Structure 1
Amino acid sequence: MQKTFHVIPHTHWDFEWYFSTHESLIQLVYHMEEVMSALESGENDTYLLDGQLSIIEDYLEQCPGQKARLISLVQQGKLLIGPWYTQTDQLIISGESIVRNLMTGIRLGEQFGSVMNIGYVPDAFGQSIDMPKIYQGFGIDKTVFWRGLSTDICTSREFNWQSEDGSEVLGYNIKNGYFVGSYLIDNDDPTPLCHQAEDGVLGHHIAIPLGGDQRYVDRNIKARLAVNNQNCTDYTLVESSYDRLFKAIADEKLSLPTLSGEFIDGQVSKIHRSIYSSRYDHKFLNDRVERRLSYQLEPLMVMAQSWGIEAKPAMAANIWKTILRNHAHDSAGGCNTDKTNKIILARYEQADQMSGSAVDYLVRKLAESQPTAEQGGIDGRLTLFNTLPYAREALIKTTISTVKPHFTLCDLQGNDIAYDVLNTELVYRGSIQRDSKENDPSLYYYQTEIAFAHPLPASGFTSLQVVETEQPSTPNIQNRETDVSEAQIENERYRLEYRQGQFHLFDKQQQKWWNNCLSLLDMGDDGDTYDYSPPEQDWLVTLDWHEATLSVNKGQCGQSLVVEGVWHLPKNLAERANKQCSGQLGYRIELQLETSPELNRSPIVIDAEFDNQVEDHRLQLVVTTPFETQTSWADTPFGIVERVNQHKHLDDWCQAGWKEEPSPIYPMLHFANMHNATTSMTLMAKGVKEYEVRADNQLALTMFRSVGWLGKPDLQRRPGIASGQQFKYIPTPDSQLQGRLKVECAMLVEPHFDPADLQQAWQHYAVEPLVYQNQSLNQFTNTLKYFVMHPLDNTVADYQQGIDLHSDNLVCSAVKPSEDNTGVLVRLYNPSSECIKASGTLTLPIAFSNIVEVDLMEREISIECEIHGMVELGEFKPKQIRSFVIRYK
């Protein structure tokens, strides 16, 4: 049977990269006119617009008069759009972000006509293990991609790709890129390209993508295919689409292999295994906005709805869309020019400010609508909000404003609550004067930073009372030791000691020492914004603490050990080669332990601040474990994945022709783990997206890397042409990240590895309770506090418990107003590879009357049922995602 090659016209539209989104937009405006004219004239039958709707949104904003014309072409099936909003990265972007990306793209595309029902990702730097179940959650049963699949995993390019829950999609792996079809336009004999394209196919129908980055529409395609068919009788070339290709493959009824897992191998295409640490500052902000949207703002909107504050789903959707534009593979990776990265950073700052302000508004509105707290005078009430759907005991840090320097903290029944004073500052609240001596002495007040532990209701809030006193509560003052040479901090679970320049951890539960457990490793980086690459003359420097200044703070609620100072390091690669050190890396690292007995499962918190004045280097936090493993684990969008510590081609990858070294450098969303049968060690983070398994049982988080070029050729880990723009060196001095950087991470040691437990532990660590003191002394607790506000007509209660998840096996990824605004959506998933028969329950407030299961588009997939306060969640398959809409009465 003669083979048919489906030539598929398309464009791959990076709306920003080594050019800015503004520059690309001008090209798009004129490009769309050419595309629509070619489709209307019949010069082209179909044209695939890169599977993303954001560029159509941008185009119609500039050319609104072309909307009817575009809709007509979409409805005729000529202009192929969707399903994505942006071509997202799949490995360092949260599962909720990926779901919102597809939902946004599909809903936007449906306004124009039909949306392509294919998970089309031609250029993503690897494919996540969770994509089949995400696709199936939207009714998508096919996917097309290029990067990440190696012949170690599959020798054919047609296959079934399956998630652990049984969700399956038909996959097609593009051969040698989405741009190869341009050969047919420039050459008369297609034989060499056809030979290349048929390598690895099982059937007789083969894709040849005809397009490229911002490529014009090939209006001569019919004439060129006629010439190619005339010059080659062995093959048939047809103008086609991926829908037609998949239909032809289905008609062949091939016996296809079934694959599972992630595809992150760089055998046939570069996947940039170390891009996860480029532009750490962007990734830190992205993680903060994702956390706030998923785990604070949307749950707060649900909480506020119960008191008559209407949800603003369009506002939330617009904030989501702002960061989704930063989730395209280049944008998320940070492999862009400095001018483009400035635009990306501006979007993050916009989303950060909008989401933060929305949270501040709702917290204040609810808190200031509670009854006036009379005990101890005005300004007394402190409201604590827990936006997670389970009750928890949390260590809370906040700042209290009082007229007097001393106060007690108690619940509304008058029971005292122990707290630690972290810092006190005398602040003036009158009109500012050039000379502070002219200030009115009666207008000073105290801002006291405190820490305390308190139980919090699920999806709710509780209230405390600040009572000003004449005398200090002496036990609340922390014991501070400064300029010590040796120190230790401890709680019921750990003892952390600093001795002779090293940190040693004693695990009280297992009665085991982890000697020299924490260190920092600095190395040269001769790479670019795509990849880390060790320089030929590297100098690995294990940073010691001998010249550090140490201080210890010990209180009732927590203990901390602070090390700070300056490390002298090579300023650049030339100095590193000569082992010179004129550069400086200032640091302040605080290690914290919570001491409340109820919090003895809390991690060792590691908050670091760096002043980076060093170029071309990579800094890692290294934990040395007292056990050996062959694999590591990390969280994924909706689960976990196991990865080998040493790839089988690590030593022969270059001889085998791989495009890049299969280093044990891996992506993570929130944590990386190593464990054996008796001990599990997890490193959690808020924005760090890369870990590496080093020799001698070491797990390392890449805190940040500093590089100065968009792309460079012939790297040690990635030989050959430069990634990105291969014809020009493009400097990116901003990617050196000179200046101050904040890194927040934590270490958790447990006797057993439990995926759901770890996901919940990360949420507990990373999603902080929200606190509001109803006071009038400080009008600048946040930007909106200065504005006046009416309380709600209905007085808000002192205490509220909302949706409560009772499960040791499930993780909640979303509690939000439903898309139809008739109820609340709750999304849960089982992160383990085991089927859970009795997974747990949801306890619901009486305001809810019915529940229905929905897919990821929030379309009903079960019969709506009445509920009476509690819902049995039933069976969850391995790694399964399930979503429920709970209807209001």
Structure 2
Amino acid sequence: MARQVSVVPHTHWDREWYLPFQTFRAKLVGLLDELLPRLERDPSYAHFLLDGQMAVVDDHLAIRPEAEPVLQRLAATGRVAMGPWYVLMDEFLVSGETIVRNLQAGRRRADHFGGAMEVGYLPDMFGHVAQMPQILRQFGLEHAVVWRGTPSAVDRTGFWWRAPDGSTVRAEYTPQGYGNGAALPDDAKDLVERIREFDETHRALIGDAPVLWMNGTDHQVPFPTLGAVVAAANELQDDYQLVVRSLSDHLAAAPTEGLPTWEGELRSGSRANLLMGVASNRVDVKQAAARAERGLERLAEPLAALVEDAGLAPWPRTLLELAWHEVILSSAHDSICACSIDPVVDAVLVRLREATDVAHAVVDAGLHAIGQALAAPGVVVVNTVARPRAGLVELDLPGTAPDDDPRLQVLDEVPARSLALRVTRADAPTVVERELDIHLGVHGVEIDEAADGTLDVTIHADPANRSAPTYGWVARQLTSLAAADPDAEVRIWVEQPPRHRALVRTPEVPGLAWAPWSPRGDVDPVTVAADGLLLSNGSVVVEIDPADGTFALDGHRGLGRLVDDGDEGDTYNYSPPARQSVVDAPTEVVVEVLERGPLRARVAIDARYPWPERIDDGARVGEVPTALRTTLELRAGERFVRIATSLENRSRDHRLRVHLPLPEPAATSQAECAFAVVERGLTAEGGPTERGIPTFPSRRFVRAGGLTVVHEGLLEYELVDVDGDPAAPDARARTLALTLLRCTGWLSRPPMAYRPLPAGPVVETPGAQVQGRHELHWAVSAADVDPYVMADDVLVPLLVARGDGGGHLPDRHQLLSTSGAEVSAVLGGAERTRVRVVNPWTEATEVDLGDRAAWIEDLRGQVLERVDGTFTLPAGRIATLSLDPRSGDQPND
């Protein structure tokens, strides 16, 4: 019986990579201009896969809108497959919500063309997250196609892939990748020999299953005579039956019996390069993505839902969809991984900045709406996370700052009379006009001329005064006075009721709610020793070592050691130079107290290091004296210390990590990834084309050996200082290393120590040296803390809304009281508010919704079951709750 070979024509389309987006789009237009007419006129060219991402379709239609009905016809007849993704994202460097929104956007867009391909197509992602099978299943997808990351333990091309909650998809591994059938020969005999060679090489993996041959690769134009060559090859012999078909048709016929099972993430380099260093290159991109996702998921969306629930404003759908579109485009694997040329990375940063700007605009509008609606004047504190919490906020308060009030920490004061500016008479008309615009509630201006010709202009202001008189006469008089003596001095004074800006601790605010602020003094104050070397808040003690700039946390010493080594790799992989040198000791340390409490203490550790300048001929050479500032911040009531590491990077070809000795030696780490906490060991599986190094990604936090580290965009960590062989059962690591910077000047390089072949075009990328100013934020705790609570406390600020009274709402309002699960998203804009919850742990949990009832939906929005008040959420499960506080009617929106 002839062996079945499924030939799936496709192109893998990186929208931006070693060329900018617009350059690649021009090539895409040319490809589809040639492909679409061929599909319409040549029935032997039976099918084409548009890379599983709808962005390819939209990119083409933006230039060729007249092609839309052609694509609709071809999709309707099964000649073209689209989606299900909007872009082919990286899975580890983005949040779980970004993955979900990407798939939702892709399927929504594909519906316009008759529906998406029902396959979880994951052809070139740099590994796969543990929860991907559950995500796909919740979208109704039963199959996945994978390449990178598949471990050697999987000994078949087909295998069952299981998520932490038990959800399973049938995964198809593609030997030699998504281009294993690219560049087919024109001669039918040569084609048969090539498929025979492929079959014999991979027979142990494929077994008796049909062979999947992916006829395409990066930016490849379609093979024009594919149908004819395949037909001729079938006529020549009886061993193989080649069929041009869709990926869906191939998988529908694939065997399901006797397949191995793999549970969890796919992060092996045994069969294909995983490209393990993409988590640490271009830290500016990773920080920007973390800010954008945090701004949307933890601030803008929950606040907008809270405001909508209170009846203050509709859900800002268009703004949020715009921001998510920018984030989704930036999540494409070559984009978020920053393994691209500098102009591409510049464009990614612009998109992420715009998404963050939209999030900030939504937050500002929401806070303004709350303030305007308050019935009584005052300040309310807004909590956009689902758990109740207290914390610090900054307030602008009337009056003179009180002396020694432990409930607040004065940051600055505005006295009753202050000298704002000194200018000449010639400049005074313009400057005073600007000052009148700046100050709120101006209700008078005086101009006095001294005997020496000096003019005193006093602006009387009161922010509480809502009147807005005009003062055109001031400019006219100043212009007249300037004519007489244009160089004479003018002093501009501001008189207003005294005010002070203070840091205050809030009472506990319920989750997804606002509540009034009142002074709170029920926590121990923060204290700092006179020399700045000891900080304490009653729960945490921080002690600084002035000899080396490290610090101790609750007696655990040596934290914060900055270790810089050489990196002769590229944007894909770290690789040490042949003659490595490490700089981990400063030549000078100075400790400076910036704030002494009582609510917040900050101490700066300024250290200088003799970093090499670059790598030349396999060795680190030159010297660049480099100053690094480590700012330790301890707040009242918190069980962790916040750290900001700032520097001006002027060295190249290096990696900077902060080393954190563990209170207890550790064999494993636990890190947040998409909708999960993943446990990892001390080794990583490599292969013949990539050395496995156990540098792993984490989304917001990592735990090991009694330490919890939270960060914003510092995605790579490693457990180091391992006793003995890391693969030994009794091996333990003594230190957690968090990567702060990894600087390289190449997109890809020829053979290097940790990877024998290039991973992409050998192109210089000076921007990946990340020269210039950086500020890197992280926090560490040696206490037994909930990492999700700590992550929210570190990364998601409490917000403040101020009202003058006259509205209709009380000073308290809550959208939802819930506990027992992590809240991933809060979404308005429909008949029902939707709240996505996840249980990232290995035991079931009881979720409490208070007095609210809900329908549980899958990620498509299909109703699964009814819950009322409390329900059990299995280990690892993701659930979307469609809330209904009023009735139990099934949602129909």
TM-score by length of structure 1 reads 0.85
TM-superposed deviation, 1:159: 0.7
**Residues 147 and 476 of structure 1: is their aligned pair in 2 closer, same or farther, counting only changes over 3 Å?**
closer
**Max Rg structure:** 2
Counterpart-to-counterpart distance in 2, 1:184 and 1:455: 66
Counterpart-to-counterpart distance in 1, 2:617 and 2:47: 56
Counterpart-to-counterpart distance in 2, 1:773 and 1:417: 23
Which letter does structure 2 place at the counterpart of 1:822? E
Counterpart-to-counterpart distance in 1, 2:312 and 2:884: 16
Kept in 2: contact 1:852–1:862 (CA 8 A): yes
Counterpart for residue 311 of structure 1? 315
Kept in 2: contact 1:158–1:202 (CA 8 A): no
Counterpart for residue 746 of structure 2? 709
TM-superposed deviation, 1:301: 1.3
Per-residue CA deviations over 1:84-132 (Å, capped at 9, x if unaligned) read 0110111121111111111111111111112111110110000111101
2:354 is matched with which residue: 350, 353, 375?
350
Per-residue CA deviations over 1:491-530 (Å, capped at 9, x if unaligned) read 223221123424676665xxxx322232111111111111
**Residues 309 and 148 of structure 1: is their aligned pair in 2 closer, same or farther, counting only changes over 3 Å?**
same
Per-residue CA deviations over 1:47-101 (Å, capped at 9, x if unaligned) read 1001011121222222222222211111111110011011011112111111111
Counterpart for residue 512 of structure 2? 459
Counterpart for residue 494 of structure 1? 540
Q: How does 1:354-393 map to 2 (within 5 A)?
A: 354-371=358-375, 373=377, 381-393=378-390
Which letter does structure 2 place at the counterpart of 1:3? R
Q: How does 1:744-755 map to 2 (within 5 A)?
A: 744-751=777-784
SS at match of 1:858: coil
The reply on whether 1:812 has 2:812 as its aligned counterpart is no
Counterpart for residue 526 of structure 1? 568
The reply on whether 1:406 has 2:411 as its aligned counterpart is no
Per-residue CA deviations over 1:632-679 (Å, capped at 9, x if unaligned) read 2211101111111134x6xxx6xxx5221111101111111113xxxx
SS at match of 2:137: helix
TM-superposed deviation, 1:772: 3.5
Counterpart-to-counterpart distance in 2, 1:684 and 1:661: 28
Q: How does 1:438-587 map to 2 (within 5 A)?
A: 438-442=491-495, 448-464=501-517, 484=531, 487-502=533-548, 513-544=555-586, 546-551=588-593, 553-574=595-616, 577=619, 580-581=622-623, 583-587=624-628
TM-superposed deviation, 1:445: 6.9
The reply on whether 1:840 has 2:840 as its aligned counterpart is no
TM-superposed deviation, 1:449: 5.0
User: Once superposed, what is the RMSD of the aligned Cα atoms?
Assistant: 2.9
2:258 is matched with which residue: 255, 259, 269?
255
**Residues 175 and 221 of structure 1: is their aligned pair in 2 closer, same or farther, counting only changes over 3 Å?**
same
Counterpart for residue 94 of structure 1? 95
Counterpart for residue 37 of structure 2? 37
Counterpart for residue 799 of structure 1? 812
Counterpart-to-counterpart distance in 1, 2:121 and 2:300: 31
Counterpart-to-counterpart distance in 2, 1:287 and 1:800: 29
Which letter does structure 2 place at the counterpart of 1:200? L
Q: How does 1:76-87 map to 2 (within 5 A)?
A: 76-87=77-88
SS at match of 1:385: strand
Per-residue CA deviations over 1:276-311 (Å, capped at 9, x if unaligned) read 011110110111111111111111111111223111
Per-residue CA deviations over 1:698-733 (Å, capped at 9, x if unaligned) read 10110111111111011211112x1111xxx32111
The reply on whether 1:770 has 2:807 as its aligned counterpart is no
TM-superposed deviation, 1:313: 2.1
Per-residue CA deviations over 1:610-635 (Å, capped at 9, x if unaligned) read 21111111111110113222222211
Kept in 2: contact 1:197–1:207 (CA 8 A): no
**Residues 765 and 614 of structure 1: is their aligned pair in 2 closer, same or farther, counting only changes over 3 Å?**
same
**Residues 83 and 425 of structure 1: is their aligned pair in 2 closer, same or farther, counting only changes over 3 Å?**
farther
Kept in 2: contact 1:659–1:719 (CA 8 A): yes
**Residues 587 and 242 of structure 1: is their aligned pair in 2 closer, same or farther, counting only changes over 3 Å?**
same
Counterpart-to-counterpart distance in 1, 2:781 and 2:873: 27
**Residues 684 and 622 of structure 1: is their aligned pair in 2 closer, same or farther, counting only changes over 3 Å?**
same
Counterpart for residue 23 of structure 2? 23
Q: Which runs of 5+ in 2 are unaligned?
A: 422-431, 436-486, 723-733, 887-893
Which letter does structure 2 place at the counterpart of 1:130? Q
Counterpart-to-counterpart distance in 2, 1:146 and 1:436: 74
**Residues 385 and 3 of structure 1: is their aligned pair in 2 closer, same or farther, counting only changes over 3 Å?**
same
**Residues 453 and 22 of structure 1: is their aligned pair in 2 closer, same or farther, counting only changes over 3 Å?**
same
Counterpart-to-counterpart distance in 2, 1:125 and 1:579: 33
SS at match of 2:185: helix
Kept in 2: contact 1:4–1:236 (CA 8 A): yes
SS at match of 1:548: strand
Counterpart-to-counterpart distance in 2, 1:264 and 1:700: 19
Counterpart-to-counterpart distance in 1, 2:254 and 2:617: 58
- Point out 4+ residue stretches in structure 1 off by more than 4 angstroms: 423-430, 433-437, 443-447, 475-482, 502-508
Q: Which runs of 5+ in 1 are unaligned?
A: 374-380, 410-415, 467-472, 776-790
Per-residue CA deviations over 1:507-562 (Å, capped at 9, x if unaligned) read 65xxxx32223211111111111111111112111143733343263322233321
Counterpart for residue 136 of structure 1? 137
SS at match of 1:264: coil
Counterpart-to-counterpart distance in 2, 1:735 and 1:772: 40
The reply on whether 1:609 has 2:646 as its aligned counterpart is yes
Kept in 1: contact 2:53–2:83 (CA 8 A): yes
Counterpart-to-counterpart distance in 1, 2:838 and 2:587: 43
Counterpart for residue 862 of structure 1? 865
TM-superposed deviation, 1:355: 1.2
**Residues 603 and 186 of structure 1: is their aligned pair in 2 closer, same or farther, counting only changes over 3 Å?**
farther
1:419 is matched with which residue: 379, 385, 408?
408
TM-superposed deviation, 1:832: 1.1
Q: How does 1:684-699 map to 2 (within 5 A)?
A: 684-696=710-722, 697-699=734-736
Counterpart-to-counterpart distance in 2, 1:640 and 1:420: 37
TM-superposed deviation, 1:478: 9.0
Counterpart for residue 455 of structure 2? none
Identity among equivalent pairs (%): 25
SS at match of 2:863: coil
TM-superposed deviation, 1:574: 3.6
SS at match of 2:306: helix
Counterpart-to-counterpart distance in 2, 1:620 and 1:421: 35
TM-superposed deviation, 1:228: 3.2
Counterpart for residue 594 of structure 1? 635
TM-superposed deviation, 1:432: 3.7
Aligned pair count reads: 803
Counterpart-to-counterpart distance in 2, 1:759 and 1:502: 32
TM-superposed deviation, 1:744: 0.9
Counterpart-to-counterpart distance in 1, 2:214 and 2:787: 42
TM-superposed deviation, 1:213: 1.1
Kept in 1: contact 2:669–2:681 (CA 8 A): yes
Which letter does structure 1 place at the counterpart of 2:396? I
Larger deviation: 106-115 or 422-431? 422-431
TM-score by length of structure 2 reads 0.85
2:298 is matched with which residue: 274, 290, 295?
295
Kept in 1: contact 2:183–2:216 (CA 8 A): no
Q: How does 1:139-288 map to 2 (within 5 A)?
A: 139-151=140-152, 153-186=153-186, 188=190, 189-190=193-194, 191-250=196-255, 253-288=256-291
Counterpart for residue 645 of structure 1? 682
Kept in 1: contact 2:613–2:621 (CA 8 A): no
Counterpart for residue 723 of structure 1? 759
Kept in 1: contact 2:527–2:601 (CA 8 A): no
Kept in 1: contact 2:660–2:737 (CA 8 A): yes
Which letter does structure 2 place at the counterpart of 1:674? A
TM-superposed deviation, 1:399: 5.1
Kept in 2: contact 1:528–1:711 (CA 8 A): yes
Counterpart-to-counterpart distance in 2, 1:438 and 1:55: 62
SS at match of 2:693: coil
**Residues 796 and 576 of structure 1: is their aligned pair in 2 closer, same or farther, counting only changes over 3 Å?**
farther
SS at match of 1:194: helix
